[in-house]
A and B are shown apart, each in its own frame.
Chain A
Amino acid sequence: MLAQMRRGAIEYCVLALLQSEDRYGFEITRQLSEADGLVTSEGTVYPLLTRLRNDGLVDTYWQESTEGPPRRYYRITTNGKRALKSFIDQWARFRDSVDDILSRGK
C-alpha cells in the first residue's frame, strides 16, 4: 500500500524535477534519493522513468558527456506538465485532508 503510494508520488516528483531543466537518469535518482524516505533503492527509479516515457509524460534524447559515455536525458512533455499541474492541485487537498484526519486521532 505504502509502496504503491510512494511509487505514484515519485513519478510526479520526477516530473517536478524535470520542470526546471532536462536531467539524466543518474542525476534524477540522486536528487530523489537525497530526499528522506522517498526512494528505497536508486535503481527502482528507472522502471518509473520508462513508464513515464511510455505514457508520453517525458521524452528522451542522448547527449555527449565530457565525463564519459553519452547520457540519456529526460525532458518533460506538454502532457507531463499538464499531469503535474493536476497532481499538485490534488495533492495539496489530499495532504491537508490526511493531516487533518491523522491529527484527530492523537
Chain B
Amino acid sequence: MSEHTTSDRIIEEYLGDLRDALRTVNPSSAKEFVAEIEQHISEGRTSLEPGDEVGLRNLLERIGSPTALANELKETEPARTVSAMDRATPWLILFGGIAFGFGWLVGLYGLWSSKTWRIWDKLLGTLIWPGGLVGTFYLFLASAGSTACSGFKGPGQTSPTMTCINRGITVLPRALQFLAGFVIVAAPIFTSVRLGSVLSRGYADASNPHGIRVVRSGRSRTSTRVVWIIEGLMVLFFFIFVMTLS
C-alpha cells in the first residue's frame, strides 16, 4: 500500500513540475499535453510491477524532464502575440475610471474577453476596485468618516443628553486608519501590476519569437504564493473595512 502511494507521489510531483513548466503555454494546449503525458505514464506502468519505483523512475526519465518537454511544446506552438487591447487593459482598469467610468468599462470588457488572464485575475481586476483609481477616490470619500449625534432632553434636565455614533475610518485606531488608506490606494495599483505581469509572460518579440520564458523556479513559485497571500489579505481587510462603514 505504501509502495503504491510512493509511486503515485512520484507521478504527482512529475506532473506538477510539468504543469509548472507549462505556465507560459496556451492553457488548452498545456492541458491537452499533460493529459497525453499522463496517459503515456499509465500505459507505461502496465508493464511494471506494482511498487516498482526504479521502473517508474526509468519510465519518467525516458519521457523526459518537464523542462525539456515544456521547451519542446513551446517550440512547436505558434508564436503568441499580445493584442493592443490586452496591452491597454491593465492601464484602463487602473485609470479608465477617470473618463466618466467609460474607459474602465472598456478595460473590463478587455479583461473578460481575453484568454490571457485566468478567472482569479479577472475577478481581482473587476473587484479591486470598481472604477480603478476613481473608485479609490470615492472609497476615500466614503471612508473619511462622519459623526452623527442625537440629543434627548429628559424631564428636569437643563441640557440634552447627546449620543454620537462614529462611522467610517474614524472608528479604527490611528495605525489601522493609515493601513486602511494604504491598502485602498495600493490595491488597485498592485492589481494592475499583476495583470501586466501576467501579460508579459510569454510575450513574443523579435528576440523571443515563440514567447519562451525562462522556466519558473521554486523561488518564483514562492513569490507567486506570497502575491496571492497579500491579495487575499487585501480583500479580507477591505471587507472588514466595509463592515465598519455600515
Contact = CB atoms under 8 A, between A and B. Distances in A.
Contacts of A71: 39, 43
Nearest to B78: A54
B62 A25 contact: no
Interface in B26-48: 29, 32-33, 36-37, 39-40, 42-44, 46
A19 to B, nearest CB: 22
A41 B43 contact: no
Interface stretch (A42-50, A76-84, A86-94): A42-50
Nearest to B75: A47
A95 to B, nearest CB: 24
Given A47-B73, A47-B75, A50-B29, A42 B63 contact: yes
Interface in A44-60: 44, 46-51
A47 B26 CA distance: 13
The secondary-structure label for the interface of chain A is helix
Contact of A42 (B39, B40, B46): B40
Interface stretch (B64-72, B97-105, B197-205): B64-72
A33 B76 CA distance: 20
B64 A68 contact: no
26 contacts: A7-B75, A24-B43, A25-B39, A26-B39, A41-B63, A41-B68, A42-B62, A42-B64, A43-B40, A43-B63, A43-B68, A44-B68, A44-B69, A44-B72, A46-B37, A46-B73, A47-B69, A47-B77, A48-B76, A49-B36, A51-B76, A68-B42, A68-B46, A69-B42, A71-B43, A72-B36
Given A33-B62, A41-B68, A44-B64, A50 B43 contact: no
A96 interface: no
Interface of A: 7, 24-26, 29, 33, 40-44, 46-51, 67-69, 71-72
Contacts of B36: 25, 46, 49, 72
Contacts of A46: 33, 36-37, 40, 69, 73
A28 to B, nearest CB: 10
A40 B64 contact: yes
Residue in B33, B73, B76, B77 with the greatest tally of chain A CB atoms within 10 Å = B76
Residue in A40, A42, A51 with the greatest tally of chain B CB atoms within 10 Å = A42
A26 B62 contact: no
Contact of B39 (A7, A40, A49, A72): A72
Contact of A41 (B32, B62, B75): B62
